Structure 1
Amino acid sequence: MANGGDTVDTSIRTAMSQAVVKAVSNAEGVPPAELCPPEYEPLHDVIDPEALDALFAPRSNGGPRPGGTVTFTYCGYDVTIESDGTVHLS
């Protein structure tokens, strides 16, 4: 598990659900494809990936969404996503 918190910069447009999986796989030291049952819970068991992606996607006019964060627990990590798309694990 991560010590002191890890972050992933998602300034390049990546679906937020994919960014979360990547951050956790990096922290665990495994490829993203290996984050699967029975060792790891599926992301969709803790949060709706499509809703998460939509929440952080640009508005229909291309503008950014207003500030805010989302926090949830996934694979033993407290995952916090900032409005700029940064993923923090603790």
Structure 2
Amino acid sequence: MNKIQTEIAEERCVSQAVVEAVAEAEGVRPIELTPPLYEVIDLDALDHIFDDTLTIGKVTFNYNSCKINVFSDEYVAVEKHDG
């Protein structure tokens, strides 16, 4: 199992942070991820879910062989399960 945690910088959107973290966990460039993240989850919804600074919580979903957690306190955790 490979675990990556990253903060979501102000200049990046949530979906971009997820793509970059998954690519790091898989050891590939973000452009090489298959299928693209937009085929798995609605990127606009993911990017806008925590727009309100009063929102508290997390979103969890699976992408490829990874479990993705996006937290309202502006970080992404990716757990890659091999096998």
TM-score (norm 2): 0.83
1:1-90 residue pairs with structure 2 within 5 A? 2-3=1-2, 5-35=3-33, 40-57=34-51, 59=52, 64-90=53-79
What's the offset of the Cα at 1:13? 3.5
What's the offset of the Cα at 1:14? 1.3
What's the offset of the Cα at 1:80? 0.4
Larger Rg: 1
What's the offset of the Cα at 1:47? 1.0
Which string of whole-angstrom CA distances, capped at 9 and with x for unpartnered residues, describes residues 18-49 of structure 1? 111000011111111111xxxx2221222100
Stretches of structure 2 that go unaligned for 5 or more consecutive residues are: none
TM-score (norm 1): 0.77
Aligned residues: 79
Q: 2:32 is matched by which residue type in structure 1?
A: E
Counterparts of 1:65 and 1:45, CA distance in 2: 29
Task: Calculate percent identity across the aligned residue pairs.
Answer: 41
Whose strand fraction is larger, Structure 1's or Structure 2's?
2
